[in-house]
Structure 1
Amino acid sequence: MVTAGVDNDKDKVAIIQKLELVDEIQRLGVGYHFEAEIEEALGTVYVLGGESFVEKHSNNIELNHAALWFRLLRQQGFRVSPAGFRMFKDDEGKFKESLVSDEQGLLSLYEAAHVAFHGEDILDDALGFTIKNLKSIILDHKPSSLFRKQAEFSLSLPIWKCIPRILARHSIEVYSEFHSHASHDRAVILKFAKLDFNVVQKCHQEELRELTM
């Protein structure tokens, strides 16, 4: 039986691994095949971490993981608070300038800010902070770099507003180009995503052909 609250680093690692797997599956457009499994996985994450997972681990949690935890759980309908993001602010109530060097963390926070509810000022601040800095940071990267491709796509189409098929196509292209030496499990997921994308595309083409006849 799972008990509420994260008691050790082992639980934290397990939570992060589940979050990263769910994020990857959803980005690659095959999440609809695993709706029950995703619900169960995020339910376990919520039970283990509670509403204050980020605050409980304020001394040893990365911005990327904090933002990923918040976005995925809120997208799934779980009640989570953005209060934990205060740990990334300075004494003046502004997001720390040191975060600018954490590129992946900024990108993850940017995505998390899009699932804000009305009146959540901390997420409004996060959105402004991340947009400003991401636009500046990508200029330091080559157009062909992984981070620049991810950031430019996200700035034009954040996950919360993106059509799943468009996100899947982009993610498949990026994963294929930059993760050619991925682990076996990751390679299997990518291969499945490619097959699924082609099957769905073929179905849409057949439907369009029938409609135009």
Structure 2
Amino acid sequence: MAGLYRYRVGDVLRVAGFKNKTPQFNFIRRKSVVLSIDSDKTDEVELQAAVSNAVNHLKPFGASLVEYTSCADTVSIPGHYVLYWELRAGDTTVPASVFEDCCLAVEESLNSVYRQGRVCDKSIGPLEIRVVEEGTFDKMMDYALSQGASINQYKAPRCVRHGPVVELLDGRVQSTFFSPKCPKWAPGNKQWDKDAGGI
């Protein structure tokens, strides 16, 4: 048996219980992996669930998500979330409207503070998906290894900060898409749906 080793990769774990005297852990999130523009806070678990919901729109076209990361673009006003997606193409071209649906699906999966910032406060701009060339995340890994990262512990980061990595990603963008309207703030509330641009 290999046993339990101490290591530092930035994972936040919660002790869920014990088996005999050995702790059992649940993965919570990566440390410091938070997207934020204003008062919103989006952690890795929430982002993963939102992306998983969104990629369902790609399935009818045979496309699938290979890897993704994100950043908070605070240069534009208002700032907005940017998702970098590397895709494996299917047999059919995915229409731009489907990527816009993906953007909206991500936004509607995020927490109420995010949606309030989008709908009410207008402090957060429309979410953006930037589709990057195949092999982009391999290039990201190569860069991380050149900076001293361990190949055994490397994971594609779910959130990146402005600098060389974002420059690498932006240099390989093939297409960009924005959420076509605000997400629903309070589903079923007609006034909020109207304010959000819904029906």
TM range, smaller chain: under 0.3
* Structure with the higher helix share, 1 or 2: 1
* Structure with the higher strand share, 1 or 2: 2
Q: TM-score, normalised by structure 1?
A: 0.21
